[in-house]
């Protein structure tokens, strides 16, 4: 099943760190715009926008997803861009399935046109 069609679950299995092979496979297949930071153990993606208003609209959409999934990213926000970073603190700051699921839901904002060419800045 596609990550964007899944919902976060909150049990020990869901909070278990993914092994590197599984994480790499899922990211290459479904989250190709996201990167893995070896130093922090997090996945991240930087989104660029045409202006501050569009950036903040995106941040609010991410907040809605995070609240709905009960799984919250770290965000770095400034004019024209937002860095979204996911890691699971309960798993020793490792990447778990919930991190990938939330990343896929955020990507869906871009893929379904919500934050398409009129919002994003290449």
Q: Quick: pLDDT tens for 29-71.
A: 999 999 999 999 999 999 999 899 999 999 999 999 999 999 9
pLDDT of residue 110: 76
CA angle 32, 120, 35 (to 5 degrees): 25
Predicted confidence (pLDDT) at residue 122 exceeds the cutoff of 60:
no
Q: Quick: pLDDT tens for 97-106.
A: 999 999 999 9
Instruction: Look at residue 98 and tell me if it is in a domain.
Output: yes
Partners of residue 37 on adjacent β-strands:
42
Q: Could you give the number of structural domains in the chain?
A: 1
Alpha carbon distance 36, 54 (integer Å)? 26
pLDDT of residue 112: 58
Q: How many CB atoms lie within 10 A of CB 34?
A: 23
Question: Domain span at residue 68?
Answer: 11-111
Q: Are 3 and 104 in contact (CB under 8 A)?
A: yes
Give this prediction's pTM: 0.90
Instruction: Look at residue 6 and tell me if it is in a domain.
Output: no
Q: Provide the CATH number for the domain around residue 94.
A: 3.30.1360.20
Q: Is the dihedral of CA 9, 94, 92, 58 positive or negative?
A: negative
CA angle 9, 112, 63 (to 5 degrees): 45
């Amino acid at each position: 099943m596609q990550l964007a069609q899944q919902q976060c679950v909150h049990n020990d299995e869901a909070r278990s760190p993914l092994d590197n092979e599984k994480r790499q496979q899922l990211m290459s297949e479904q989250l190709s715009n996201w990167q893995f930071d070896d130093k922090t153990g997090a996945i991240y993606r930087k989104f660029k926008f045409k202006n501050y208003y569009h950036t903040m609209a995106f941040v609010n959409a991410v907040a809605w997803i995070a609240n709905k999934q009960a799984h919250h990213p770290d965000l770095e926000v400034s004019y024209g861009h937002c860095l979204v970073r996911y890691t699971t603190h309960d798993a020793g700051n490792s990447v778990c399935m919930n991190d990938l699921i939330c990343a896929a839901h955020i990507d869906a904002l871009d893929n379904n046109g919500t934050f398409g060419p009129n919002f994003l800045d290449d």
